[in-house]
Amino acid sequence: MGKRYFGTDGIRGLANGEQLTPELALKVGQAAGTHFLKGSHRHRVLIGKDTRLSGYMLEQALTAGFTSVGMDVVQVGPLPTPAIAMLTREMRADLGVMISASHNPYYDNGIKLFGPDGYKLSDADEAAIEALIAADVPRARDASVGRARRIDDARGRYIHAVKASFPDGARLDGLKVALDCAHGAAYRVAPEALWELGADLVTLGVEPNGLNINDQCGSTHPEKLAATVVASGAQIGIALDGDADRLILVDEQGRIVDGDQILALIACSFVRSGRLKGGAVVATVMSNLGLERYCASLGLALARTPVGDRHVLAEMRARGCNLGGEQSGHVILADHATTGDGLVAALQVLAVLVAGNRPASEVLNLFTPVPQLLRNVRFAGGKPLEDPRVKATIAHVEAELGSRGRLVVRPSGTEPLIRVMAEADDEALVARVVEDVCEAVRAAA
C-alpha cells in the first residue's frame, strides 16, 4: 500500500491547503515523537526551517505535537537541511525535523524527518508514523510533558563543520565569488562561511521576507546570477536553493553548470587524490550519458538509481561510495554529510580552483553532454502511464533508440506531472521521440 502523506522527500504541499495544515503538523509531531520514544532517557527533537512565511505556523504546530507526547524540542531557526541532519546527530537528538519545500515557491512547504543518525527516515519508519497519525497516541501527563527552547549557536556549529570539509591550510583569498542564496535557509551561513575562508563576495538572494524564497533566484533560476558573474568580474558563481541542499554553478563566462559537471569534477579530484571510495559515482537515471562515459574514462562505474537523493544515498551506502548526486544539483559527499549539501559541494569545487589556478570554464567542462531533452506534461488525474497507448509509444521509442540512447518516463514525486526525458547523440531524434511520448501522455490525460 502506498503512503498517504510521505512522498519522495518527506511531506510536501500547499501550506494551509487541503493537506499540509497546522492540524496535520500537530499529528505528525505526535506520531513521529511517539515512534521515536525509545529508551528511558529524556527525549529530544531538533527543529529547523527555511525562510517561508508558513514556517512559523508549522514550527509551532510541530512543537505542540512533540511536547504533547513528552519530547523536548530544540528550535534552531533558519538553517540548511544538511545542517539539521548534522546537528541532529551531534546533539544526540532522537529525531530531526526540517520545515522546507526545498526549491518550490514560498506558498508550498514541507516536513522532512531525520533519524538520530542524521539520515532521512526509511520507508518502514515513514509507514509506521503514518499509521500513528491515524491513531490516538497516548499523551504525556504532568511532569512528562516536553519543554521547548531555542538555541543561538547552531549557525556557528554548522559553519565550523562546513569549513572543516575544506582542505587544511587552504584559503580563498583573491577569489571573487558571486553567491545566490535564493533568499532561503543559507542566507546567513553561506556568506559567513565563504567570508571566513577569505573569499571576495558579491551576494544575491540574502534578504528573505517570507515570500521571496526561490523567486527568480537560486539554483532553479540562475540567470540573474550568471549576469552578475559577468558584470562583476567574478571568477565563479554559486547558486543554492531554498534549503541549500542543491548546488548549481556559473563559470566566469556566465555559463550555467549543472550537477553532472560538478560530479565529474569532484570525481576527478577524488580519483587523483585517492579519496574516491567504492569504485563508482552514484547518480540517477536523469544524469547525462556524457557523465557515464566520463566516469568510464576514469575507470569508474556510474551506478544509476531512481530520482531522489534518498535513493542515491541508499545506493552509496550499499556500495560503500562517498560521492553521488543528481543532475539537479544534489551532491552528496558521504565523508562530510548524510544528505546533499550545496555549500560543502561548492567548497570542493573552489578547492580545485584555488589549487590549480585555472578558470572555472576549464575545470567545469570535463565532458561534452549528450543531447538531452526533458519535458513535463501536466495531467488532471488518473494514471496516464498505465494507458495502453502510452505504454505502446514508450515501447516503440525504446526500440527505436536501442543502444544509441536512453528514454526515462516517470511521474513527478511532488506535482501532477509526467516527466519525459530522452538522450542520444542524434539531437533531432531526441526531439522527435520526446514529442511522441508527450503527445501520447497528453492524449491519455
pLDDT in tens, 334-374: 999 999 999 999 999 999 999 988 999 999 999 999 999 99
pLDDT at 357: 84
Number of residues in the chain: 445
Mark whether 269 is an active-site residue. no
Which range has the worst mean pLDDT, 10-19, 379-388, 423-432? 379-388
Dihedral-angle region of residue 8 (phi above 0 means left; psi in -120 to 50 means alpha; beta otherwise): alpha
Q: What would the pLDDT profile of 51-100 be if each residue is shown by its tens digit?
A: 999 999 999 999 999 999 999 999 999 999 999 999 999 999 999 999 99
pLDDT at 162: 97
Q: What would the pLDDT profile of 287-296 be if each residue is shown by its tens digit?
A: 999 999 999 9
pLDDT greater at residue 163 or residue 380: 163
pLDDT greater at residue 308 or residue 171: 171
Which range has the worst mean pLDDT, 39-53, 267-281, 380-394? 380-394
pLDDT greater at residue 284 or residue 415: 284
Q: Which domains can be identified in the chain, with CATH numbers? A: 11-153 (3.40.120.10), 174-257 (3.40.120.10), 258-344+351-369 (3.40.120.10), 372-444 (3.30.310.50)
Average pLDDT, integer, range 211-228: 98
Q: Does 137 have pLDDT greater than 70?
A: yes
pLDDT at 33: 98
Average pLDDT, integer, range 218-225: 97
pLDDT at 43: 97
As given in the structure block, the three cell numbers for residue 182 are: 535564493
Q: What percent of the chain has pLDDT over 70?
A: 99
Q: Which member of 54, 68, 100, 102 is catalytic?
A: 102
- Residue 331's identity, in one-letter code, is V
Per DSSP, 384 falls in state: G
pLDDT at 380: 84
With vertex at residue 21, the alpha carbon angle to CA 111 and CA 96, rounded to the nearest 5 degrees, is: 25
Closest CA to 104 of 237, 3, 10, 203: 10
Claim: this prediction has a pTM higher than 0.95: no
Buried b (16+ CB within 10 A) or exposed e, 91-125: bebbbbbbbbbbbbebebbbbbbbbbebbbbeeeb
445 falls in which pLDDT band (50, 70, 90)? confident
| Location of C-alpha cell 511517539 | 34
